[in-house]
Chains A and B, each alone.
Chain A
Amino acid sequence: SQKIEQNSEALNIQEGKTATLTCNYTNYSPAYLQWYRQDPGRGPVFLLLIRENEKEKRKERLKVTFDTTLKQSLFHITASQPADSATYLCALEGGGNKLTFGTGTQLKVEL
């Protein structure tokens, strides 16, 4: 069966460090993968999209990698700040425009 796995345990890091979140998937052949941020009580907000022919994508302090052989994406936040604390979700297009999300990883950036 198709599965998207993100680390369900919260990730706690110190301010200024790099946070790395993982998204693994099985039985998908996605044309692209997306990352979203979600704050409590709000809908997810799009951050980055990376296509299957791209290895890496950057946006300000964010970096996403996509390894279709390993079936894995890594999401990095450099120079993390307390304002980066949120839940981060990865999402895959599962065929026919169907967009499926992982369960998300909660990130806490401490002073």
Chain B
Amino acid sequence: DVKVTQSSRYLVKRTGEKVFLECVQDMDHENMFWYRQDPGLGLRLIYFSYDVKMKEKGDIPEGYSVSREKKERFSLILESASTNQTSMYLCASSMVNTEAFFGQGTRLTVV
């Protein structure tokens, strides 16, 4: 079974902190994605990566950066966390042009 694992299920951080969300997949997928999900807004794509060290901005990249140094790991970085980044963060991976597999999500609260 494909497994996408996010490092934390729940996270509480302070405003201004640098926050790292980690995602690991075990199926050698080329593509990895970071989304945030908010009530009424659905899943919004923050960044995605189609290969090691390659990244593309999604629809809402402001305030975020990403890192993909190894194929199996895709990190989302909040450079200086703000309260409006309180959200559910979902990581996914896929082969090219096939279904995506999601992690269990990280519920981040910025206080």
Please classify the interface of chain B as helix (H, G, I), strand (E, B), loop, or mixed, using the class held by over half of its residues.
strand
Q: A43-B90, A101-B43 are in contact. List 6 more A-B contacts (CB 8 A).
A: A46-B101, A97-B31, A99-B33, A100-B59, A101-B45, A103-B41
Q: In the complex, what residues of B have CB within 8 A of residue A34's CB?
A: 99-100
* Complex CA distance for A101 and B58, rounded to whole angstroms: 12
Interface size on A, residues (CB 8 A): 23
Q: In the complex, what residues of A have CB within 8 A of residue B40's CB?
A: 8, 103
Which 10 residue pairs spanning A and B have beta carbons closest together?
A43-B102, A103-B42, A46-B99, A101-B43, A97-B50, A97-B31, A43-B90, A44-B102, A43-B105, A104-B42
**A-B contact number at CB 8 A:** 60
* Complex CA distance for A43 and B30, rounded to whole angstroms: 20
Q: B residues bordering A, Cβ < 8 Å?
A: 4, 30-31, 33, 35, 40-43, 45, 48, 50, 56, 58-59, 90, 92, 94, 96-105
Q: In the complex, what residues of B have CB within 8 A of residue A46's CB?
A: 99-101
Q: In the complex, what residues of A have CB within 8 A of residue B33's CB?
A: 99
